[in-house]
Amino acid sequence: MSNDGYWFGVIPVLAESAAHYGIDANEIARAGAIGQILHMMGPTSAPLWVLLGLVKAELGDFQKHALRWGVPVSAAYIVFAVITGAISVP
Q: What does the pLDDT look like over 72-82, one tens digit per residue?
A: 998 999 899 88
Q: What is the pLDDT of residues 6-37, one digit of tens each?
A: 889 999 999 999 999 998 898 888 888 888 88
Distance CA 20, CA 32 (A): 18
Burial 47-81 (b: 16+ CB within 10 A, else e): ebeeebeeeeeeeeeebeeeeeebeeebeebbeeb
3-state secondary structure of 20: coil
Instruction: Give the max Cα distance, the chain.
Output: 48
Say whether pLDDT at 90 is over 80.
no
Report which secondary-structure segment, H or E, holds 5: helix 3-5
| Total-model pTM | 0.68
